[in-house]
Amino acid sequence: MKKIYVQEEWCLKCRLCEYICAYANSGFKDIAAALKDKPINTRITVEESGRISYAVSCRHCDEPSCVKSCISGALEKVDGVVKIDKDKCVGCFTCVLACPYGAIAAGEDGAAMKCELCVENSGGSPMCVKYCPNRAIILE
Amino acid sequence: MNYVIIGNSAAAVGGIEGIRRVDREGLITIVGEEPYHVYGRPLISYLLEGKTDAERMKYRPGDFYEKNGCELKKGVAAVKIDAKKKTVALENGEVMPYGRLLIATGARPFVPRIRGLEKYEYHTFMTLGDALKLKAKTDAVKNAKVLIFGAGLIGLKCAEAIYKRVSEITVVDMADRVLPSILDAESSALIKAHLESRGIKFLLSADVSPDDFQFDILCVCTGVTPETAVAKDAGLEIGRGIFIDKNSRTGDPYIYAAGDCTESFSAVTGRRGVTPILPNAYIQGETAGINMAGGSAEYDGAMPMNAIGFFGKHILTAGIYEGEEIKRGSFAAASASDLSSVSACTLKKLFVKDGGLKGFIFIDDFKRAGIYTALVRERRDISGLDADALIENAGLNFYPKEFRDEVLKRRESRQGIYAGENLL
Ligand SMILES: Cc1cc2nc3c(=O)[nH]c(=O)nc-3n(C[C@H](O)[C@H](O)[C@H](O)COP(=O)(O)OP(=O)(O)OC[C@H]3O[C@@H](n4cnc5c(N)ncnc54)[C@H](O)[C@@H]3O)c2cc1C
Ligand code: SF4
Ligand code: SF4
C-alpha cells in the first residue's frame, strides 16, 4: 500500500495543501464556495518551527492507536487506509487523545475527521500530493 | 489450538483480533453473559440521548463473529474455571475445554453501604440492559425527579443520558468535587458550574441517605469494581483485579486476562492498579490474543487517559497531575459563579516535573492532544521546550528530529522526482 511521505526541506510553508484538503472534503465543486469566508477544515496541518516546515497528516499506522482506542468501533483500517464511519462516531474524541501525530481532529459536524487519502471524497487520490507545488508531499 | 474467551466486550474483541493476527484457523468460543452482539459500553448514554441506536452502537459489524471463525454463546455465564483440567464450566451445565483461556469479565457496579438504600428499588448504569430499564422507567414516570448517587464519570454520564427525559436531577457524592478521578479542583469547578448552568443540582461532601430526599427514580453510580468471581478458584493472583504482566499473562501459562477485570502496571507511575478504560481493555486484549496464539506482543503499560463530554463540553485528560502547572484559558476560579458564561470557558493545563510532562487536563482546547499523550506515555525529555512553546498547539517539533524523519520521510532515494516538478 502506498503511503504519504513529507520532505521537510522542500516544503515552502505555502499551506496550499491545507486549502486543497479542506476543499476536497467540503463537498463543493466550486473552490470559492468551499473556502471563502469559511473555517479551513483541513485534515493536513503545516507545522512551522523556525526555518523548518512540513505538512502532517495521518500516517495510516501499522498499529493505529486511534482504531484501538475508539469507543464506538467507528474507526477501521481497510486496505491500508484508516477510515472513519461518521454515522457510528459519537464525538468523544478519544481518538484525538490517542493519536501520537495529532492527525485526527474534531470536525464541524461533531464527529472526528481525519485524512482518508481522498478515497471517500471527490478527490479519489490524495489531492495534497497532486497540488503541492514543490512535491514536498509524495505518495509512494 | 482452541481458545475460550469469557466476556464479550472490548477486551474480548481485542483478544479475537489479536488471535486472528497470528492464527486464522483455531476455533474461538466466546462466552458472554449479556444477551447482545458486542456493543460499545460507553455508548449506552448516547443511546438514551438518541445520539446512536442499537445498530450503530455495535462495536463491530453484525458479521464479526462469523468472519472471524468465532462461536458466540451469548446470554450464558461462565461459573468456574478448572485450571488443572483446563476447562470452563458454564451456568447451563456445559463444560468447555480450552487450549488457551482469556478472562475478559470486565467490571461490575460497586455499591458502597448507603444508609437506607435497601428500602428502595434503584438503577445502575453499566450495561445496555441497565440503559433499557432506565429508559422504560423514565417513559413510565412522567416529569420524574431523579436522585443520582455518584458524581464520577458514570453518574454524570447517566445524568446527561436522562436529562431530556426527566424534570429534575440531583447528584450527590461524598467527594468534594465532580469527576475526582480525572479532574483537579479548578477544572472540576468549571465542569460542575457548566452542569449547574443546565439545571443539574449537586450536593457534594455529603454523607446522605436516600431517606433525606424526595425522588421518583434512584440511580446508584458510585464506581466500578473488577469482576473476578470466576477466576477465584483458578489459583491466579488477584488483588483488586486479576494481576497481569505486560504480555497480558496471569501466573498460569494457559490463562490470560485483559481489561477492567485486571490490575496491571501503569505506564505513568509504574505502580500496579486498575485502569478501567476502553482503550486499555482493547490493547490488553489484543496483546493477550497475539500471545495466546503463539505470537509475541507487549503493551507499554496501562495508560490513564480519558476523553469525555457533557452537554457539548469536551474534557480530555491523561497522566497524573503532579509538578509545575502551565496553563491557559478563559476560566478563572471566579467565573465558576457566573453560570451564564461558564459554558463558554476553556482551560488547558499541563503538569511538568523533572523535565517531563506528567499529565494534562484540556477542556474545549484540545487540538492534537495525542502528541501530549505520547510525551507522557513515552516519558520524553521536554526540557528543551519552554513553557510558551509547550502550551501552544502541539506539533511534531516536540519530538526529536530523528523521530520526526522516521515518521514522515521516505527513506529510500526517490528517482525521477525533483523539487519544483509540479510547478512546471
Ligand atoms: C456509562 C459508561 C461510560 C463509559 N465511558 C467511557 C469512556 O468515555 N471512555 C472509556 O475509555 N471508557 C468508558 N467506560 C469504561 C469502558 O466501558 C470499559 O473500560 C470497557 O468496557 C472495559 O471493557 P472490558 O471488555 O474489559 O469489560 P466490560 O465492558 O465490562 O465487559 C465485560 C463483559 O463480561 C461479561 N461477563 C462478566 N462475567 C462473566 C462470566 N462469568 N461469564 C460470562 N460473561 C461474563 C459481562 O457481562 C460483560 O459483558 C464507560 C463505562 C460506562 C459504564
Ligand atoms: S489518526 Fe493517528 S493513530 Fe490513527 S492511523 Fe492516523 S496517524 Fe496513526
Ligand atoms: S470521536 Fe468518534 S472516531 Fe473518535 S474515538 Fe470517539 S467515537 Fe471513535
Q: Which of A47-51, B15-19, B26-30, B330-334 has the lowest mean pLDDT?
A: B330-334
CB–CB contact A6 B305 (8 Å): no
- Could A97 and B370 be called an inter-chain contact, meaning their C-beta atoms sit closer than 8 Å? yes
**Per-residue pLDDT averaged across B65-82, rounded?**
97
Write down the pLDDT at residue B336.
77
CA-based diameter of chain A, in Å?
41
Q: Is the pLDDT of residue B279 over 70?
A: yes
CATH superfamily, domain at B315-413:
FAD/NAD-linked reductase, C-terminal dimerisation domain (3.30.390.30)
CA B263 vs. chain centroid, Å, equals 14
The string of pLDDT tens digits covering residues B292-312 is 999 999 999 999 999 999 999
pLDDT score for A122: 73
Which protein residue has the closest C-alpha to ligand 2 atom 6?
A58
CB contact under 8 A, A54 and B408: yes
* Residue from B173, B187, B206 nearest B336 by CA: B187
| Ranges for all domains in chain B classified under CATH 3.30.390.30 | 315-413
Q: Name, in order, each residue with C-beta under 8 angstroms of B226's C-beta and a sequence gap of 6 or more.
A: B105, B106, B107, B240, B241, B242, B260, B261, B262, B263, B274, B276
CB–CB of B127/B196 below 8 Å?
Answer: no
**Cβ–Cβ < 8 Å for B62, B68:** no
Q: How confident is the model at residue B416 (pLDDT cuts 50, 70, 90)?
A: very low
pLDDT, position B87: 98
Residues of A in contact with B42 (CB under 8 A): 71-72, 92
Nearest by CB: A68 against B283, B314, B395: B283
Question: Cα distance from B307 to chain A (closest Cα, Å)?
Answer: 5
- Residue B42 is classified by DSSP as G
Give dist(CA B49, CA B277) in Å, integer.
22
Residue B394 in contact with partner chain A when CB distance is under 8 A: yes
* Interval A22-34: pLDDT, tens: 999 998 989 999 9
∠ Cα B301 B394 B310 (to 5°):
75
**Fold entry, domain B117-220:** FAD/NAD(P)-binding domain (3.50.50)
pLDDT of B424 above 60 = no
Q: How far is the CA of B185 from the centre of ligand 2 (A)?
A: 32
Which of A9-13, B165-169, B410-414 has the least mean pLDDT?
B410-414
Measure A65 CA to nearest chain B CA, in Å.
9
Mind telling me how many Å the CA of B390 is from chain A's nearest CA? Answer: 13
Ligand 1 pocket test, candidate residues B13, B17, B105, B299, most atoms within 8 A of CB: B105
Structure confidence at residue B139 as a pLDDT band (50, 70, 90): very high
Check B308 against A140: CB less than 8 A apart.
no
Q: Of the bound ligands, which one is closest to the alpha carbon of residue A74? A: 3
Out of B46, B282, B395, the one facing A90 most closely (by C-beta) is: B46
Residues of each domain in chain B carrying CATH 3.50.50.60: 2-107+225-292, 117-220
**Which backbone phi and psi does B386 adopt, to 5 degrees?**
-85, 170
Lowest mean pLDDT among A1-10, A40-49, B242-251: A1-10
pLDDT at site B422: 54
Closest CA to A113 of A11, A22, A10: A22
Q: Give DSSP secondary structure letters for A46-78.
A: EEEETTEEEEE-----SS-HHHHH-SSS-EEEE
Instruction: Please answer yes or no on whether A101 and B367 come within 8 Å at the CB atom.
Output: no
Tell me which of A54, A69, A78 to substitute to probe the interface with B (most B C-beta atoms closer than 10 Å). A69
Residue-level pLDDT at B334: 73
Coil, helix or strand for B333?
A: helix
Please name each of the domains of chain A with its CATH number: 1-57+117-140 (3.30.70), 62-114 (3.30.70.20)
CB contact under 8 A, B369 and A102: yes
Contact B42 A71 (CB under 8 A): yes
Write the residue in A97, A101, A131 that is nearest to B316 by C-beta.
A97
* Residue whose CB lies within 8 A of the most ligand 3 atoms, among A67, A69, A75, for a mutation test: A75
> For residue B413, is pLDDT > 50?
no
User: Which chain B residues touch A106 with a CB distance below 8 Å?
Assistant: 314, 366
Per cent of chain B over pLDDT 70 is: 97
Q: Which residues of B34-55 are buried (b: 16+ CB within 10 A; e: fewer)?
A: bebbbbbbbbbbbbbbeebeee
Mean per-residue pLDDT over chain B, rounded: 95
Span B31-68, pLDDT tens digits:
999 999 999 999 999 999 999 999 999 999 999 999 99
Cβ neighbours around B411 below 10 Å, total: 7
**Cα(A113) to centroid(ligand 3), Å:** 9
Q: Which three cell numbers stand for residue B221?
A: 453510580
Atom 3, ligand 2: which residue's CA is nearest? A99
The partner residue sitting opposite B409, judged by closest CB among A7, A73, A100, is A7
Cα B78 to Cα B247: distance, rounded to the nearest angstrom: 24
In this complex, the residue of A6, A47, A93 whose CB is nearest that of residue B314 is A93
**Closest listed residue to residue B150, CA positions, set B122, B108, B179:** B179
B183 Cα: distance to centroid of ligand 2 (angstroms): 27
Q: What is the CATH number of domain B2-107+225-292?
A: 3.50.50.60
pLDDT digits (tens, 9 = 90+) for B184-212: 999 999 999 999 999 999 999 999 999 99
Q: Give pTM, 2 decimals.
A: 0.96
CA distance A29 to chain B (A): 22
CA B232 from centroid of its chain's CA atoms? 24
State the nearest Cα–Cα gap between A78 and chain B, in angstroms. 14
Per-residue pLDDT, B415: 46
* Arithmetic mean of pLDDT, B69-74: 98
Q: Which residues line ligand 2 (CB under 6 A)?
A: A 58-61, 64-66, 82, 99, 101, 103-104, 114
